[in-house]
Structure 1
Amino acid sequence: MGKTVEAMKGWVAQPRWAPLRLLPDLLAGVGLLLAGLAWLVSVGLLTLATAAGSVLAYGVLAVLLLGRWSAPRSGFGWPNRVTLLRALPVCVLAGALAQPELYRDHGTLLAALAGAALLLDGLDGWLARRLDAATAFGARFDMELDAALILVLCLGLALSGKVGAWVLAIGLMRYAFVAAGYRAPRLRRPLPDSTRRKVVCVWQVLALLACLPGFVTAATATWLAASALLALTVSFALDVRWLLR
C-alpha cells in the first residue's frame, strides 16, 4: 500500500520560484536518459518509438515535480537525486509501452531495467535517514515512483499478452484506494508503519519483474502475477478494515 499515507497529504505553500531549484537536477537527468537511450537504440535493443516514449514519460515526471508537487526549499538533495536516477529506467519501461512486443522480444533487458530501479529503491531512504534529510516531498516522490513502476509493468505484461488484462488490478488498486479516500475521509487517515506492507510492495515488483524474461512461460508468469495480486488484495483489505474500524 505504499510506504506512507502521510506523503499523500497537502503541502506548505512555497514561493512560486521554489520549483526552479529542481531544474539543474532535472536537466542532468534528461541528459543521462538521452545518452542511455542513444546507446540502446544504436545497438538495436530499443526503437526510436520507445526512445520518444521514454522522453515523453520523463517530461510528464518533470511537470509533476515542477508544478504538481511542492519543491523542497533546498532543492533536490542527494536522496531525491537517487530517486530521480531510479526514475530513468522506469521512464524507459514506460516508453516501451509504445511497442508492447518489446516486452516479449526484449523481456530480459526490460527485467534488468526494472531490477535496477528496484535495487536503487531503499538507497534513497537510507541516504535520507543517514543525512537527516527526510522530507514529505521525498516520501511522495518515492511512493509515486513505486506505484508508477508497478502500473507500467502491469501494462507491459497485459499489452504483450503474456498475462491477462486482470493483471492491471495490481497496478490500479493503489490509485483506486486513493480515489476512494475522497469519498470516505476515514481512508485518508495515516496508517501505522507496517513491515507487511513493505514486503508486499517489494513482492509486487519482484513478481512482475520475474514475469518479463523470455524463458518464463505465460503459465508461470500468470501464477507469479496472481500471487502478487492475492498478497496485495489481502494487504489492502487489512488496512481498509483498520481504517474503517
Structure 2
Amino acid sequence: MTISTATTTTSPYRAPLAGFVAQLLLLGALAVTVGLSTWGLVAGVVYGAVLCGLLGLALQRAGMTRLGWANSVTFSRAILTGGVTALIVAHVAGAETPVALLVTLAGVALAMDGIDGQVARRTGTTTSLGARFDMEIDSILVLVLSVYAGSELGWWAVAIGVFRYAFVAASWALPWLNAPTPPRFSRKVVAAVQGVILVAVASGLLPTLVAVLALVVVLAPLTWSFGCDIAWLYRASRVSETARSRWSAPNREHAMAG
C-alpha cells in the first residue's frame, strides 16, 4: 500500500504554520529576556494566529503552495512586527518597555522592507499577493508604532497609522475608492519617511518638542498624499460615470425606437 504525501508537502498552510511557530518562539524569547507581560503575550499570539491564518487563506485562493523567497522575506518582517506589536501592547497596558529592543526589532523590519521587492523582481516572482502582503505588513508596523508615539506624545499621533485603515473603511461605503491609483513616487517617499521618523521618535533620543514636530512633519504630507489619491479617484469615477452615461444613452434610444 502506498501512502501519498502530496497533500502535506503542498499544503498552502505549511509555511504559515511554520511562521506561527517562529512567532511563538520570538514571543517566548521576549518573555524570558525582558519579561513580556500577559497583555503583550496575548496580543502577540493573537496577531500571529490571525496573520498566519489569513496568509494561508490567501495562498489557497491564489493557488500557491509555497511562499517563495520574496514572500519569505516579507513573512520574516511580519514576525518581527508581531514582536513589536507585543512590546507596544505591553507598554500601553503599563509595562516597562525595553526601548532599545523595540527600536531594534522595528528598525530591522523597516530595513528589510526594500529587500523583498528586489528579490521578487530579480527572481521574476512578483505577484499581486506579494505586493498586498508587503503593504499590509507596512501598514500594521506603522499603526503600532503610531500607537506607541501616541501613548507618549498625544493620541493625535495615532492618526498616522489609522489613515490607511480609515481609507479602507471609507471604500466600503464609497466603492469608487477601490479603483487602482497610478504609481506616484511621492507616495513611496511619504511611506518610507513615516516609518523612519516613527522609529526615531520611539527611540526616545529626540527632545519632546522635536519629536512632536517630526510627527507633524509626517502627518502633513501623509494627509496631502491621501488627499491627492482621493481627489484623483473621485475625478476618475466622474469620468467613468460620464462615459457610461454617454454610451448607454444611444442604446436606450435604439431600444425605444425598436
Tell me the TM-score range normalised by the shorter chain: 0.7 to 0.9
User: Could you report, residue by residue, the CA deviation over 1:27-86 in whole angstroms, capped at 9, with x for unpaired residues?
Assistant: 322333333333333233644542332122111111222236734424211111111000
Equivalents in 2 of 1:97, 1:156: separation in Å? Answer: 6
Give the corresponding residue for 2:112. Answer: 120
Q: Is the 8 A contact 2:16 2:53 kept in 1?
A: no
Distance 1:216 1:72, change over 3 A: farther
Give the corresponding residue for 1:157. Answer: 149
Give the corresponding residue for 2:86. Answer: 95
Q: Which runs of 5+ in 2 are unaligned?
A: 1-6, 236-258
Quote how far apart the aligned CAs of 1:210 are.
0.7
Equivalents in 2 of 1:176, 1:26: separation in Å? Answer: 28
**Structure-to-structure mapping, 1:163-174, within 5 angstroms:** 163-174=153-164
Quote how far apart the aligned CAs of 1:94 are.
1.4
Equivalents in 1 of 2:26, 2:229: separation in Å? Answer: 40
What SS is found at the alignment partner of 1:43? helix
Give the corresponding residue for 1:111. Answer: 103
Q: Say yes or no: does 1:59 pair with 2:49.
A: yes
Give the corresponding residue for 1:130. Answer: 122
Q: Is the 8 A contact 1:200 1:231 kept in 2?
A: yes
Equivalents in 1 of 2:55, 2:26: separation in Å? Answer: 22
Of 18, 24, 33, 2:14 maps to: 24
User: Could you report, residue by residue, the CA deviation over 1:167-191 in whole angstroms, capped at 9, with x for unpaired residues?
Assistant: 1211111112222223333322211
Equivalents in 1 of 2:57, 2:97: separation in Å? Answer: 37
The structure having more radius of gyration, on CA atoms, is 2
Equivalents in 2 of 1:180, 1:42: separation in Å? Answer: 42
Give the corresponding residue for 1:139. Answer: 131
Equivalents in 2 of 1:38, 1:226: separation in Å? Answer: 36
Q: Aligned residue pairs: how many?
A: 226
Q: Which runs of 5+ in 1 are unaligned?
A: 1-16
- When normalised by structure 2's length, the TM-score is 0.79
Give the corresponding residue for 1:81. Answer: 72
Q: Say yes or no: does 1:238 pair with 2:217.
A: no
Q: Is the 8 A contact 1:54 1:94 kept in 2?
A: yes
User: Could you report, residue by residue, the CA deviation over 1:9-41 in whole angstroms, capped at 9, with x for unpaired residues?
Assistant: xxxxxxxx99x7332222322333333333333
Distance 1:36 1:28, change over 3 A: same
Equivalents in 1 of 2:193, 2:176: separation in Å? Answer: 27
Higher relative contact order (CA 8 A, sep 6+): 1
Equivalents in 2 of 1:103, 1:201: separation in Å? Answer: 29
- When normalised by structure 1's length, the TM-score is 0.82
The 10-residue stretch of structure 1 (122-131 or 31-40) with the greater mean CA deviation from structure 2: 31-40
Identity of aligned residues (%): 36
Q: After TM superposition, which residue ranges in structure 1, 4 or more long, deviate above 4 angstroms?
A: 101-104
Distance 1:210 1:92, change over 3 A: same
